[in-house]
């Protein structure tokens, strides 16, 4: 029996579900029951009646799944360190200190953060839910942790709120410069439609025809009548883009998140066979971080919906 068949058999026997982020390896995405961005996967994991969630992403995603579904077993089939770089860019102590000095400020924390940081946050968000969440908060001042580029983007979309950015960023998206876009256009043609992630710097976003979350980029391209695109986000998205749009042409910058590439079909199989990689969090972390994550789901709808 090959690896895929073994995984299917074990999923059925153990009532397990496999969730994978768009930035995962193509063979991992193909194994998954659901592929999506952070917000979609958080919703799927919480609503699922599976006893076991196998989460294929980076560490904070698997921990978030456990926090939202503490009664379920969550497996993270990655046996080396695989954190998002932004998990280290803020600490609970720093945030508590800021809150003490600014009691009128609400803390909105990007889900790309440690579970400890989530415990001292008012609400979490993803790049696809952030605008609705901040617009729905009954406060004028928002400390946005930790991505300064996403904070800048949100400030442009919601000018009636005061967004105070933390000094953090995604080292993959923040590394892109306008000169990189120019070189790609010069090499591949200036007719390329540019779609960028809001974790990119403002001068890069200003060059894009569309800026949005991973799922937003997919929807935009799927619905576009254009045929050639420069996609300015992690290259793992290419797998879904090409499946959805076999007649469109895509170009990418060398944007590779190594932490997202540490899960393989073999590690998924081993996790299901041995239960290796179980995510374990203390009750206090689950309770306190759960408030911010559940608020994310609560405040994610547009006003009036």
Rounded mean pLDDT for each run of 10 residues along the chain, 305 residues in total: 93 98 97 93 93 96 95 94 90 97 96 95 94 94 98 97 97 98 98 98 98 96 98 97 98 96 97 97 97 93 69
What's the whole-model pTM score?
Answer: 0.94
Contacts of residue 266, Cβ cutoff 8 Å, sequence gap at least 6: 3
pLDDT of residue 89: 95
pLDDT of residue 1: 63
The verdict on domain 3-84+260-280 having CATH code 3.30.70.890 is no
Q: Mind giving me the DSSP string for the chain? A: --HHHHHHHHHHHHTEEEEEETTS-HHHHHH-SEEE-HHHHHHHHHH---SEEEEES-HHHHHHHHHH-TTSEEE----S----GGGGS--HHHHHHHHHH-TT-EEEEESSS-HHHHHT-SEEE-TTTHHHHHHHSS-SEEEEESBHHHHHHHHHH-TTSEEEE-SB--TTTTT--HHHHHHHHHHH-TTPEEEE-TTS-HHHHTT-SEE--HHHHHHHHHH-S--EEEEES-GGGHHHHHHH-TTSEEEE-S---GGGG---HHHHHHHHHH-TTB----HHHHHHHHHHHHHHHHT-SPTT-
**CATH for 86-169+290-298, options being 3.30.420.10, 3.40.50.150, 3.40.50.10800, 1.25.40.10:** 3.40.50.10800
- Alpha carbon 52 to its chain centroid, in Å, reads 21
pLDDT of residue 275: 97
Using an 8 Å Cβ cutoff, are 3 and 269 in contact? yes
Using an 8 Å Cβ cutoff, are 143 and 106 in contact? yes
pLDDT of residue 79: 84
178-256 belongs to which homologous superfamily?
Answer: NadA-like (3.40.50.10800)
pLDDT digits (tens, 9 = 90+) for 230-255: 999 999 999 999 999 999 999 999 99
Same fold, 86-169+290-298 and 178-256: yes
Domain ranges of the chain: 3-84+260-280, 86-169+290-298, 178-256
Backbone angles phi, psi at 143, to 5 degrees: -90, 115
pLDDT of residue 304: 59
Using an 8 Å Cβ cutoff, are 209 and 193 in contact? yes
Q: CB burial class (10 A; 0-12, 13-18, 19+) of residue 180? A: middle
Using an 8 Å Cβ cutoff, are 139 and 106 in contact? yes
Q: Which two tokens stand for residue 143?
A: 């400390």
């Amino acid at each position: 029996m090959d690896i895929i068949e073994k995984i299917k058999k074990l999923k059925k026997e153990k009532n397990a579900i496999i969730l994978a982020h768009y930035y995962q390896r193509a063979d991992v995405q193909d194994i998954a029951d659901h592929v999506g961005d952070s917000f979609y996967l958080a919703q799927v994991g919480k609503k699922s009646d599976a006893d076991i969630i196998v989460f294929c992403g980076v560490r904070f995603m698997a921990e978030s799944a456990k926090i939202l579904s503490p009664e379920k077993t969550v497996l993270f089939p990655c046996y080396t360190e695989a954190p998002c770089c932004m998990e280290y860019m803020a600490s609970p102590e720093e945030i508590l200190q800021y809150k003490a000095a600014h009691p009128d400020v609400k803390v909105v924390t990007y889900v790309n953060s440690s579970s400890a940081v989530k415990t001292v946050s008012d609400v979490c968000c993803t790049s696809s839910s952030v605008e609705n969440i901040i617009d729905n908060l009954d406060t004028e001042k928002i400390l946005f942790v930790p991505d300064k580029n996403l904070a800048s983007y949100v400030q442009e979309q919601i000018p009636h709120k005061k967004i105070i950015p933390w000094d953090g960023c995604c080292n993959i998206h923040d590394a892109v410069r306008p000169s990189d876009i120019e070189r790609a256009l010069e090499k591949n043609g200036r007719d390329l439609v540019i779609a960028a992630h809001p974790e990119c710097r403002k001068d890069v976003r200003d060059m894009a025809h569309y800026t949005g979350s991973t799922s937003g980029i997919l929807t935009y391209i799927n619905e576009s009548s254009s045929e050639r695109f420069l996609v300015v986000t992690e290259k793992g998205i290419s797998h879904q883009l090409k499946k959805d749009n076999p007649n469109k042409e895509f170009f990418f910058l060398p944007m590779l998140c190594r932490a997202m590439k540490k899960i393989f079909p073999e590690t998924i199989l081993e996790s299901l066979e041995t239960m290796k990689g179980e995510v374990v969090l203390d009750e206090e972390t689950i309770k306190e971080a759960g408030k911010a994550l559940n608020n994310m789901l609560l405040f994610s709808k547009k006003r009036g919906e």
